[in-house]
Amino acid sequence: MNARAVAPGRTTGPDAPVGDVAGVDDRASASIGNTISASRVFDAAGRVVLPAFVDAHVHLDKAYLLEPIANELAAEGAKLTADLGDAIATVARLRPRLGPEVVAAGAQRAVDTLVRNGTVAARAMVEIDPAVGLGLMDLHADLAARNAGRIGLQLVAFPQRGLELDGMRELMKGAMAAGADVVGGCPYVDDDPGAHLDFVFDLAEAYGAPVDLHLDFSDDPEASLIDLVAERTRAAGMQGRVAIGHVTTLAAMAPDRADRAFAAMAEAGIALAVMPATDVYLTGHPREASGWHATRPVAPLLRAARAGVTVAITNNNLCNPFAPYGNGSQLQAAWLAGLLFRAVAAADRATLIDAITVNPAQILGLPEHGPTPGARADLVVLEAANQDEALLQCSKVAAVVRAGVRIE
């Protein structure tokens, strides 16, 4: 398959710089500028071609569980709530009851949705828990193998309910030995977050793996653990290999304190992943500290980017108790972030596009991709005249290309 491709944010046309995107014969990779004979041509004329989307933080093993869990709760005479603690406890309690077939079907549907929406690589949070053991590692390994030609999955050993449950530390070690790529953490759920972080960083050092933390998922800036993470990142020499997700405390901080947090993150090379569909839904509720007014709960990613922090916008959850409205579209997530932060300037909107393309690829340690000479030919073609229009109108995906091969 050959497609006409142009520089990021430019449309195809007679005056546009052109590269051949090629991929046939089950090639593992193809790059812009390398032409391989192919049987079909996709004409992208008049459409914008961007680097394909990369999701730096997604939970496939919780995807599309909203209805099954709501049904289970209804049978008990209970209902879902928009509360983080309830969502964690409810999913942990009821997911095993649903059975592995339901969970696997939801995960596959999530992969299909991501790919259809232009995402060709993702960092997947694999829940490690005494209730399921390493069963979800097996599910993800099978999922990754079955979809290897469509999406690349990087697996994170993720302790959703913390490390203080019996057997959790051994399970985390077992997950890394079983092939997890990244050591995950969730220190805010443990009584001793410092000990949680010590274990996570020690395990990452033992396996030479990056660290990815759910962090500061609250509206209370006094609960922030950013300084602890920055300290451990520097001590371990892991600058550029640590990502933190959610971090909604940043939205509740006074500007000067948030600026200090951004500076600490930039200096330690800590990346920030935000999840608009989840964080708007679960946080920012009226509370005493805010005078019973709701707050804008998403971490201020544009300010973080201006301070030198690598920022990514992610899906996080798809249609489950954590994010009922999560729909697997990173472009829509970027659109929502633009609305929340009033991204008036074209430069800010370009930052939002970077946050779903090149930045998350950097976080995952992936090679350069997109419509530039020599880059891996992972592309998304959008029904828009240019990059800005694609974001503002949340344009429809016309075609998705991975390693030079159009994904049907």
First to last CA, the chain: 12
Closest C-alpha among 90, 118, 56 to residue 366: 56
Please write down the HEC assignment for all residues of 128-190.
CECCCECHHHHHHHHHHHHCCCCCEEEEEEECCCCCCCCCHHHHHHHHHHCCCCEEEECHHHC
Q: Fill in the DSSP letter of residue 395.
A: P
Distance CA 67, CA 291 (A): 34
pLDDT attached to residue 283: 78
The two tokens of residue 311 are 């920022």
SS3 283: coil
Instruction: Write out the H or E segment, with its range, that includes residue 213.
Output: strand 211-215
**Residue 26 exposed, middle or buried by CB count within 10 Å (0-12, 13-18, 19+):** exposed
Distance CA 274, CA 331 (A): 13
Q: Spell out the residues 6+ positions from residue 324 whose beta carbon is closer than 8 angstroms to its own.
A: 66, 80, 281
Mean pLDDT by 10 residues, the chain (408 residues): 39 36 35 52 90 98 94 93 87 89 97 98 97 95 97 98 97 98 97 98 98 93 95 97 96 93 98 94 68 72 97 96 93 96 95 98 98 96 97 97 93
Distance CA 326, CA 277 (A): 6
Q: Spell out the residues 6+ positions from residue 272 whose beta carbon is closer than 8 angstroms to its own.
A: 243, 244, 245, 247, 265, 299, 301, 304, 309, 310, 311, 312
pLDDT attached to residue 292: 59
Match 């997109």 to its residue by tokens: 370
CA distances from 294 to 256, 280, 301 (A): 21, 10, 19
> In terms of DSSP H, where are the helices of 184-329?
193-207, 226-235, 249-252, 255-268, 276-282, 301-306
Strands 182-185 and 211-215: parallel
Q: Spell out the residues 6+ positions from residue 355 whose beta carbon is closer than 8 angstroms to its own.
A: 301, 305, 311, 312, 313, 334, 337
Please say whether the beta carbons of 98 and 68 come within 8 A. yes
Question: Between 84-98 and 66-75, two packed helices, what is the crossing angle to 10 degrees?
Answer: 90
Burial 55-78 (b: 16+ CB within 10 A, else e): bbbbbbbbbbbbebbbebbeeeee
